[in-house]
Amino acid sequence: MTRWLQSPAGRYLLEWEQQHLDSAVADLFGFHAVQLGLPELDALRANRMPHRWVADQAGAPAAVTDVDAALPRAALALRADYDALPFDSASLDLVVLPHTLELAHDPHQTLREVERVLVPEGRVVVVGFNPASLWGLRQRIGRIRRGLGLARRQGLFLPDAGEFLAYRRLRDWLRLLSFEVEAGRFGCYRLPVASERWLQRSAWMDQSGERWWPVFGAAYFVTAVKRVRGMRLVGLAREPARRVKAGAVIATQRQRRTEEEPV
């Protein structure tokens, strides 16, 4: 993944993701934010939370986890197992997953861990490759050719690690975990080519793609909020006021004097 991001297509992808992530996290407030994976992307640089971490997968090469120079504004860099995050339950306000679910050993368990560590009304931002795109189509063709012995690893256009997670499938997973999707966006509509020259020649496809085929972008990002449904305090419970029974009222009626009283 690191080597591919240095290619023309990788730099083009990082530029688009950085621009839209800056816009997505700029107005998210809280105290604790975490980015899981892809230290080449500073997903939290526009966020103003005081405590921020960049966590890389445990067991990754040291060159990938050296993020001090790449991310000067990140508070801390650490290694963590995505299936068991080293954070307390309901302790984080924001978690960003840039291509994390694609590279995780168990993407569904990783998403469960994110739900566990987020506070109620906390946000998660997911970035991933779109399999329903020209880039995804070329990747599938490359894998088929390699499976048939017609191409080697170099025949793949995108990184070979992990599996792409479809946009609709991700929304279903989020819904099952009580997340509510707030925003979603697709991007990177240029041709899946390795040449910088041809990549620039297809730049017109970015504007046309957003207008005519928006769901076929090579990448997407989703912002979702954790909802917790339960009881709500509506007031203090008080003992019912005791009613005082009124006593019996004796009504008397004056008798009319039929005879005059003696003076």
Homologous superfamily of 4-226 in CATH? Answer: Vaccinia Virus protein VP39 (3.40.50.150)
Q: Looking at this protein, which amino acid is placed at residue 109? A: Q
Contact 78, 52 (CB under 8 A): no
Sequential pLDDT tens for the chain (263 residues): 788 899 999 999 999 999 999 999 998 999 999 999 998 899 999 999 999 999 988 655 544 434 444 444 545 788 888 999 999 999 999 999 999 998 888 999 999 999 999 999 999 999 999 999 999 999 888 888 877 776 655 567 888 777 889 999 999 999 999 999 999 999 999 999 988 999 999 999 999 998 999 999 999 999 999 998 764 545 555 555 555 455 544 444 445 444 455 54
C-alpha closest to that of 65 among 80, 79, 46, 86: 79
- The Cα–Cα gap between 173 and 99 comes to 16
Give the up-direction half-sphere exposure of residue 76: CA atoms within 13 A in the CB hemisphere.
12
- What integer pLDDT is reported at residue 67 of this predicted model? 41
Which residues are bridge partners to 39 per DSSP? none
- The Cα–Cα gap between 146 and 182 comes to 39
- What integer pLDDT is reported at residue 258 of this predicted model? 47
Contact 220, 16 (CB under 8 A): no
- What integer pLDDT is reported at residue 3 of this predicted model? 86
Which residues are bridge partners to 118 per DSSP? 92
- The Cα–Cα gap between 53 and 34 comes to 5
Contact 33, 95 (CB under 8 A): yes
- The Cα–Cα gap between 77 and 165 comes to 26
- The Cα–Cα gap between 236 and 68 comes to 51
- What integer pLDDT is reported at residue 143 of this predicted model? 83
Sequence ranges of the domains in the chain:
4-226
Helix (H) / strand (E) containing 198: helix 196-201
* β-bridge pairing 51-57 and 76-80: parallel
Classify the C-alpha dihedral 129-135-139-140 as positive or negative. Answer: positive
Q: How many other CB atoms are found less than 10 A from the CB of residue 20?
A: 18
Classify the C-alpha dihedral 143-144-148-150 as positive or negative. Answer: negative
- What integer pLDDT is reported at residue 66 of this predicted model? 42
C-alpha closest to that of 41 among 26, 31, 54, 60: 54
Would you give the distance in Å from CA 101 to the centre of its chain? 11
Complete edge-to-edge strand list for the sheet that includes strand 92-98: 76-80, 51-57, 32-36, 92-98, 118-129, 219-226, 179-187
pTM reported for the whole predicted model? 0.79
| Residues 149-182 as b or e (16 or more Cβ within 10 Å = b) | eeeeeeebbbbeebebbbbeebbebbeebebeee
